[in-house]
């Protein structure tokens, strides 16, 4: 099932009655993103406080050109609508309200602290260098990374959020039991709702005539075990007795 906020992007959806929980995401296209992913707590804090999920998050899919921003979480079916509403509220809030100094400091310290861990083995080193070419970044990008992160200010975060996070262009996609939360989603007035249902599990067996053609392939006249069966008629011989007879004659 999918919906979009009022007057927002065309919704895309998928619904499955077999899922005990709802997995949701909302995203929009952005301009070219910075050289490294930014994944923050814009959505995880409120979801975690309310016990909706342990896995809410948001971030950019960084590409050479425009890449999407995506916020996502897996929640219990009964809190699908509240979770969607919290997502939208948090995305609006990060555009309207400056981040707390403590939150910025924690995010900044984390990114700076884990930076050396990206170069512990040859593979990530090559990947980081290749990223400079793919994204057409300057040669000193990696050397400038930590000083640039440390220089980020509260105003810079607010400007970036207002520039690159565009809730009015977002599509909301929910995967779960549409019968359980569909009516509430429609009544919430978030926008038009489209439901796409699975065909359901396959219950029919093999098609007629198929079973006859599916015999064992390792037996029969042309099978690979031809001639490897246990022998049933074994001719008896007594070579040891013949040897004893020849020995007696020699004496």
Q: Which domains does the chain have, with CATH numbers?
A: 2-194 (3.30.830.10)
Containing 242, the helix (H) or strand (E) segment is helix 239-250
Say how many C-beta atoms besides its own lie within 10 A of residue 60's C-beta: 20
Tell me which residue has tokens 């007035």.
Answer: 189
Say how many C-beta atoms besides its own lie within 10 A of residue 78's C-beta: 13
Cα 1 → chain centroid = 18
Cα 85 from Cα 64, distance rounded (Å): 32
Q: Residue 119 in 3-state DSSP?
A: helix
List the pLDDT tens digit at each of the 251 positions of the chain.
Answer: 443 333 344 334 444 433 334 455 555 544 333 333 344 444 455 555 667 776 788 888 888 887 889 998 889 999 999 999 999 999 999 999 999 999 999 999 999 999 999 999 999 999 999 999 998 999 999 999 999 999 999 999 999 999 999 888 888 999 999 899 989 989 998 888 888 887 766 555 555 555 555 666 565 665 666 666 666 665 555 555 555 555 555 55
Residue 241: is it exposed, middle or buried by C-beta count within 10 angstroms (0-12/13-18/19+)?
exposed
Cα 193 → chain centroid = 24
Q: Is the dihedral of CA 222, 224, 226, 229 positive or negative?
A: negative
Cα 182 from Cα 188, distance rounded (Å): 10
Contact 91, 59 (CB under 8 A): no
Query: What does pTM read for this prediction?
Result: 0.59
Q: Residue 30 in 3-state DSSP?
A: coil
């Amino acid at each position: 099932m999918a919906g979009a906020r009022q007057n927002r992007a065309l919704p895309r959806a998928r619904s499955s009655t077999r899922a005990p929980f709802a997995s949701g995401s909302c995203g929009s296209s952005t301009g070219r993103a910075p050289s490294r992913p930014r994944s923050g707590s814009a959505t995880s804090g409120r979801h975690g406080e309310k016990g909706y999920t342990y896995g809410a998050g948001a971030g950019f899919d960084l590409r050479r050109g425009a890449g999407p921003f995506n916020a996502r979480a897996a929640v219990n079916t009964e809190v699908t609508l509240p979770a969607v509403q919290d997502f939208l509220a948090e995305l609006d809030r990060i555009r309207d309200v400056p981040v707390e100094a403590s939150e910025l400091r924690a995010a900044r310290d984390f990114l700076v602290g884990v930076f050396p861990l990206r170069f512990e083995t040859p593979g990530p080193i090559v990947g980081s260098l290749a990223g400079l070419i793919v994204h057409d970044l300057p040669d000193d990008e990696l050397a400038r990374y930590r000083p640039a992160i440390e220089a980020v200010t509260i105003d810079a975060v607010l400007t970036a959020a207002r520039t690159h996070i565009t809730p009015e262009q977002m599509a909301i996609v929910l995967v779960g039991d549409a019968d359980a939360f569909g009516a509430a989603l429609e009544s919430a007035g978030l926008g038009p709702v489209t439901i796409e249902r699975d065909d359901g599990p396959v219950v029919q067996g093999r098609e007629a005539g198929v079973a006859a053609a599916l015999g064992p392939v390792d037996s029969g006249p042309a099978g690979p075990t031809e001639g490897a069966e246990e022998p049933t008629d074994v001719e008896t011989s007594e070579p040891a007795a013949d040897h004893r007879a020849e020995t007696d004659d020699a004496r």
